[in-house]
Amino acid sequence: MTIRRLSAVDAQTYWMSAKIPNDQFMLYGFDGVPANLDRALEEIRARAQGCPELTLRIRDRALGYPQWVTGEVSTDQLVVHDATGWPDCLATVAGLAADQLDARSMTWRLHVFCPVDDMPGGRKGVVAVMQVAHAVGDGIRSSAMAAQLFGRAAPVAPVEAPSSVKPLALPWLGYRAARAHRQLERDTAAGLVPPQADSRPALISNSRPEGSRTFRTVVRQRADIPGPTVTVGVLAAISAALSAHLREMGDDPALLGAEVPMAKQGPRRAHNHFGNVGVGLYPELGPAERVTRIAGDLADRRRRAAHPAMLAASRAFEAVPAPLLRWGVDQFDPSVRSPTVTGNTVVSSVNRGQADLYFGDAPVVLTAGYPGLSPMMGLTHGVHGIGDTVAISVHAAASAVGDADAYVERLAAAL
C-alpha cells in the first residue's frame, strides 16, 4: 500500500485521543465453542494480514500530518482472556478502556473470551471484542474491518486520498466556505433549510464520569422494536427510560435530547466520515407523537447536512496546515465544562449487516458496542444489529446515572 497521510479529520481524532481516550469496543457473540481455538485464532490473524486496512499503523511526524503505514499483524493483537460468565465478561471489557492502544504500534486488538456461559439467550459460546483506535475508522468502517476478521468477503470500502491542496489555498477556500455559510443562513431564514439544532441544558447524565463504570446490553429482535427505523424506535424508548430515571434523581428532563453520530453524505474522504447531530427526545409526548417528532428531527439534520455549505467547510478544513491544527488540539482543555450540550446522552446506531460471521465454526448471534464516555458525557448508548437481532447497550458512569442496573431495567421495559 502506498504511504498516504491522514486526513485532517483523522489526524485531529488521533491527536485528540491523548486528551480524551477514544478507542472503540465492538463486541461479537458466537454460538458455541470452536473445536480448535488456536486454529480459529490463526485463521483470524491470516485474514487480518490479508486485509490492507487491518495492517495499518500511524507514523507521527513533528511538522506534517501523520502518515498511514503498514506492518505485520502480530500475535500480541490477539489476546485470550480467562473464560468467564457473561456479566464478568462485560465487566472485563469495561475495564479494557483503561488500556488504550498506541496507534503507532497497533491500531486494533482482538480480545477473546472462551467459553462464556449465560450469554443472552442462555447460550454458551465465544465473545470476541475488537478494540480499535478511532482514527482508523468510524462505526461503519470499523464494523466492516471487524467483519473481515470473521470471514465476510465484502472488502472494506476505500477512502479517497486527502486532496493535495496547498496551505496557500486556505484563504480562498475559507472565503468560499464563508460565502457558502452566508447562503446557508439565507436559506435557513427563508425556510428552505431546517435551522441548526438547539443546545440543551446539561443534566446529571452529562456529569464528568466518576466512580464505577458499567456495561450492559439488552437484546431484542428487530420486529419487537416499533417505529419507522430501529434507531428511531430505540431513541423513543431511551426517552421514556432516561426521563423517568433523571426525574427520580431530581433533574428536569423536559428538554431532553440525544447526540447522534450521522454518516456524512458524498464520497468518503476520511476514515471518520460522520458528524454528531442533536435530536430532541420529547419525553412529554405520547409514544406515537414522540416517534414522529424524533424521526422528523433526524430528517431535518440530514437535510441541513446536505447543504453545499457543509462541503465547503470540510474542504477549507482539509487545507489547514498540520502545525496549526495540532496547536488547536493542544489548546483543548477537557476540564472546562459548559452549561449547555448537544445532547444529554449519546446514541450511536450501526447496522452490521447479515449474520454471516463465524469464529471458527461458531456462527454469530449478536453484536454490540459501547461508545466511550467524555468529560461532558457520563452515559452513552449503542444500537447495533446483525441479522434480525438488535443489541441496545449502555455505558454508564455512576456519577451520571447512580444505579445503572435500575436504569437498564427501565430501558428494557421501555423497549
Mean pLDDT in residue range 270-283: 96
Burial of residue 60 (number of CB atoms within 10 Å: 0-12, 13-18, 19+): middle
Q: CA–CA separation, 393 vs 63, rounded Å?
A: 40
Question: Which range is least confidently modeled, 44-53, 104-113, 152-161?
Answer: 152-161
Asked if residues 140 and 263 have their Cβ atoms less than 8 Å apart, the reply is yes
User: Above 70 in pLDDT, residue 167?
Assistant: no
- The residue count for the chain: 415
Asked if residues 383 and 407 have their Cβ atoms less than 8 Å apart, the reply is no
Positive or negative CA dihedral for 328, 329, 335, 341? positive
Burial of residue 81 (number of CB atoms within 10 Å: 0-12, 13-18, 19+): middle
> C-alpha cell of 51?
486485509
pLDDT at 411: 98
Give the residue from 51, 53, 33, 48 showing the smallest Cα distance to 112: 33
Q: CA–CA separation, 37 vs 79, rounded Å?
A: 12
Mean pLDDT in residue range 82-110: 94
Q: What is the DSSP letter of 206?
A: G
SS3 59: strand
pTM reported for the whole predicted model: 0.95
pLDDT > 70: percent of the chain: 98
pLDDT > 90: percent of the chain: 89
68-77 residue pLDDT tens: 999 999 999 9
353-411 residue pLDDT tens: 999 999 999 999 999 999 999 999 999 999 999 999 999 999 999 999 999 999 999 99
How far is the CA of 329 from the CAs of 8, 12, 134, 169, 376, in angstroms? 12, 7, 16, 22, 17
